[in-house]
Structure formats: structure tokens, C-alpha cells
Structure 1
Amino acid sequence: MSLDHRTVDQRWLAELRASLADEFATQTARLRELTELNADTGDPGEAHTRAALVVAARRGVEQVADALRRIDEGGYGVCERCERPIPVPRLEVVPYARFCVPCQEKSAG
């Protein structure tokens, strides 16, 4: 299943893909910057913060890459749990969403 291409503006999907590609490049550059930064100041708090930033950047890269893959494969916009379409307004807010809101709430609870 994929987004109903009769109801989704193809221009919107192309713009979304371009936006996600830009986000991927930004996140990848940030991750590279964080991992190449070896300035150990000896401050455990700073090291912890840097480690958390690396984890967040990796997660961002993975989420965006996965969304781009789903667009390319035609599965973008379909909930991975219930296989129903994810509403476009949700995708506009969370473009890498893998689940519809009800399924996301079930997995978080």
C-alpha cells in the first residue's frame, strides 16, 4: 500500500523528497562534525552531552533515510502497523512518520 496518488499532489511529494534530502545532508554533516570532534576537555558532562548529540544525529539520519527509501519504494505514507494511510497533515508535521497517530500512541504506551 502507498499514498493514494490520486489525492496526493505529486508536486507536494517531490517537494517533500527534496526537503528530506536536504535534511539528510544536514544531519549527515552534523553527525560527521560530532564524530570527528575529538576535543576531550575532561568534563564528563560535556562528553555525555556530545554522546547524546551523536545519538540524536544518528537517529535523525536513520529516520530521514528510511522516509526517503519509503518514498522511492512507494510505501511512504502507510502505517507500518495497521497498513492504513497516514493522514497528510501528520506527514507534514512528522515527515518521517512510520505510524498513524493511533498506532503511534499504542506503541508509546
Structure 2
Amino acid sequence: MNQGIGSPGRSALDLEPFRRELNLQRRFRLEQLGTLFNEANLPCPAAQAEVRAVLAAGAQQALAEIEAALARLSRGRFGNCELCGNSISVHQLEAIPTTRFCLRCDHRRQAKFNSGNEFSVRG
């Protein structure tokens, strides 16, 4: 198994930019949700309320992914693929710090999903 970015033997400083970015994203999503929930009490057309609900659901999903990535950082599992255990490339993590899978496994997972077959993530 390759050594992930969060593996022992890697400097904690390597992780700090990811932690900062994830915390910034977390704050943004919390502020976004606060605004959406405050606006939910205002009268508006049904279509606008529906858009707010969709935006809130997306923000909640993004927040859950951010918090899961922060938890992986705390557990020392950040940067390791949840399927194969190999390292996720730094470039991929820089682009999408919430990613849980290496490119190879993500492509396989998406192909299985698109074909309608189940694909399980190891626990």
C-alpha cells in the first residue's frame, strides 16, 4: 500500500493547507445555510422556495463531505483511498480536498454506478 499524505512519516505541515482550505469551505457552507434558513421564513413564490430548498440540500451535502474530510484529517486517513487504501494524488486533493477515492477507484466506482451495479466502500 502506498503511503498517503496523512500517513505516519509525513509531516503534519503537509496537511495544514488542506485543513485551512476545508475549514474555510466549512465556514462558507455554514454561513450559506444560515442565510438560506433565515430566508426560508420570508414569504416568497413557490418556485423561489423550491430553489432555496435545493440550494440548502446541496449545501448540507457539501458540509457533510467537508466534515468527513476534516474527520479523516484528524484520524490520519486523509489522502488515502477508501477503496484500495492507496494514496490519492496531491494534485487531486488540491483540486477536490473532500475526495475519498483515488482516480482509478473513482472511475471504477462511477462506471459501476452508471451501469446500475452496486459498489460498496469498505468500512
Same fold (TM over 0.5): yes
Name the count of aligned residue pairs. Answer: 107
Name the Cα RMSD after superposition: 1.8
Is contact 2:4-2:88 (8 Å) kept? no
Is contact 1:2-1:74 (8 Å) kept? no
Does 2:66 correspond to 1:59? no
* SS of alignment partner, residue 15 of structure 2: helix
Relative to the length of structure 1, the TM-score reads: 0.86
Structure 1 runs (4+) greater than 4 angstroms displaced: none
Q: Which residue of 1 aligns with 2:118?
A: none
Q: Which residue of 2 aligns with 1:39?
A: 42
Deviations 1:51-78 (A, max 9, x none): 1100111011111111111001000001
Q: Which residue of 2 aligns with 1:81?
A: 83
Q: Which residue of 2 aligns with 1:98?
A: 100
Is contact 1:86-1:100 (8 Å) kept? yes
C-alpha separation in 2, matches of 1:40 and 1:59: 25
Gaps of 5+ in 1: none
C-alpha separation in 1, matches of 2:67 and 2:37: 19
Cα drift, residue 9 of structure 1: 5.5
Cα drift, residue 40 of structure 1: 2.8
C-alpha separation in 1, matches of 2:104 and 2:43: 44
Q: Which residue of 1 aligns with 2:52?
A: 50
